[in-house]
Amino acid sequence: MILANGIQYEISMQDELLRGLEARLNATLAGPPLETETVVAAIDALGRRVEAGEFDAQIAALQLDGTEQYKELAVRLLRRDHLEFKLRMELGANFRRDCVTEPPAGLPPLRVLARPLGVLLHIAAGNADGLPAFSVAEGLATGNINILKLPQADNGLSMTIIRALLEIEPRLADFLYVFDTPSSDVAAIQRMAELSDGIVVWGGEAAVAAVRRFAHPGTRLIEWGHRLSFAYLAGKRPEAELAELAKHIVVTRQLLCSSCQVIYLDTARQEDLGAFCERFWPLLQAAAEAHRPRTLGAAAELTLRSYTDRLEAILDGGAAKPWTSPLCSLLPKQDSELELSPMLGKVLVKRLPRAELLPALRRAKPYLQTAGLGCPPEEREALTELLVRAGVTRITYPGSMSESIPGEAHDGSYPLQRYLRMVDVELREA
């Protein structure tokens, strides 16, 4: 299905709509700008409808583990106080007002305007339900026209959310276009890209590389690629902290960019890995039992991965023994490279003495995101600085690696700033 100017069309109308899209976009750009308050009020009203249970059936149909947590996060992100705080944090309290500079040496002043980039094309990944709608919400909040190419794995939730938003505020209709275009239709996607001032792409290296190939050289690319996160533990950590880390690993199933893939220990001794695993294993098992997968597919995948772990352990006779169960695994390794774990509660454990931390992490610098740092209080500032210099963009405590905090940056930058352009207008006395 296609949504254009608030009207739903069959996919067979795609080529005709794309031929006339430039004229529609230009007409909107020439008209009144989209006011921030209009967007914030509409999104806040949508959040209240989500909170009231209006979309419970669609959310339940996703068959997600942790459905309630998913709903709570959505409600939090859609609240007015969150949106207004995000706007202030990323763009400043007075971003809506033009400002006048006072250059040195008697040079003429400039009037500085923060304006929408223009037209944003959102190419969303299919591994996070509802993400396409949240990406579009950020584009609307900055006054942009938004073209959304739905991921092939989208289950209809994004379209449902967007249609509900237009019911709440019909004035958004001219700033929203949704195309259910398959990724194989390169010609259609290229046409959308040609009409856009910025392309927001979510996904892995292949998706980002594909967009770079067909994007116009003058188009701003806003890439949100896959990232890797880890826990770094120094000294003997309290059991409560380790229990929180275990819960984080199991609850997120290690499917998020901020999920712990590797537990690093501040040690050079391989035997310390075994001692840690002996202590951490019952905590991980307890968390896995308390948060068993609710869907048949997730349970089947866990079973398959458990058998795979055992087979790999047999074939890799030189490695340390894994701690495995049908629900979770601890997999000690001899190297110190940051890598993707088998996920679903199956975490890697590695040595990384702090003297070797920076060079080891720098080898993974394009993918670094969150470090869950557990250490004595007197060492936290020094280790934080070391992680920052290595390229980490987010540092939390081990159990809160995937908690969303209003106002925080995304992969080291503020998204809303990238959806604006700064315009300088020279001023002279008449």
Please answer whether residues 201 and 207 qualify as being in contact, where contact means their C-beta atoms are separated by less than 8 angstroms. yes
Cα Rg, the chain, nearest whole Å: 24
In this structure, the answer to whether residues 392 and 332 fall within a common structural domain is yes
238 by DSSP, 3-state: which? coil
Same domain? For 278 and 220 the reply is no
Residue 285's domain comprises 228-400
Alpha carbon distance 31, 174 (integer Å): 10
Q: HSE of 271 in the Cβ direction (CA atoms, 13 Å)?
A: 0
Q: Evaluate whether residue 405 is within a structural domain.
A: no
Q: Which of 38, 29, 80 is nearest to 169 (CA)?
A: 38
Please tell me the pTM assigned to this model.
Answer: 0.85
Residue 17 lies in a domain: yes
Per-residue pLDDT of the chain (430 residues; tens, 9 = 90+): 899 999 999 999 999 999 999 999 999 999 999 999 999 999 999 999 988 888 887 777 766 666 677 778 788 888 999 999 999 999 988 887 888 888 898 888 899 989 999 999 999 875 555 678 888 999 999 999 999 998 876 677 788 889 999 999 999 999 999 999 888 888 999 999 999 999 999 877 877 888 888 888 889 999 888 899 999 999 999 999 999 999 999 999 998 899 999 999 999 999 999 999 999 999 999 999 999 876 544 544 555 555 455 555 545 554 567 899 989 999 999 999 999 999 999 999 999 999 999 999 999 999 999 999 999 999 999 999 999 999 999 999 999 999 888 778 888 889 999 999 999 998 886 5
Q: What is the CATH number of the domain that holds 316?
A: 3.40.309.10
274 and 200 assigned to the same domain: no
Same domain? 240 vs 202: no
279, part of any domain: yes
User: What is the rounded CA–CA span in Å between residue 329 and residue 309?
Assistant: 8
What is the total count of domains within the chain?
2
The residue type at 302: L
CATH of the domain at 91: 3.40.605.10
Q: Is 164 exposed, middle or buried (0-12, 13-18, 19+ CB in 10 A)?
A: middle
Residue type, 357: L
Gap between the Cα atoms of 4 and 177, Å rounded:
5
Considering the domain architecture, whether residues 215 and 298 belong to the same structural domain is answered as no
DSSP annotation string for 83-102: HHHHHHHHH-TTTTS-EE--
Residues 8 and 58 in one domain: yes
